[in-house]
Amino acid sequence: MSEEPFVPLESVAKHFAVSISTVRMWIRQSIVPSLKVGGVYRFKLSEVEHALRKIHGEEVLTEPPVGAGVQLELNFSPDEDI
């Protein structure tokens, strides 16, 4: 049986259908385990999933910690909103 490979940040974002900024927030808040090699983060998807399931079950992700950045999503149409 082969060991699970480490994947880059972009693969984590794609796998969980979130933005790269969200994965970076998870790293800053120590929500997901990561390995930093040469300034680049690497992850095992199974470990990230386990961490997210554990935290989601404890409802830690419902509100960001005090001082945490807030990510806003803006949807506008240049033709309609100008």
Quote the tokens at residue 30: 């120590």
Phi first, then psi, for residue 43 (nearest 5°) are: -140, 155
pTM for the model stands at: 0.65
The one-digit pLDDT tens for each residue of the chain (82 residues) are: 569 999 999 999 999 999 999 999 999 999 999 999 999 999 999 999 989 988 867 544 444 555 555 555 656 666 665 5
- Residue 34 has what pLDDT? 95
- C-alpha 39/C-alpha 81 separation (Å) is 41
7-63: CATH topology is Arc Repressor Mutant, subunit A (1.10.10)
**What is the model's pLDDT at position 13?**
94
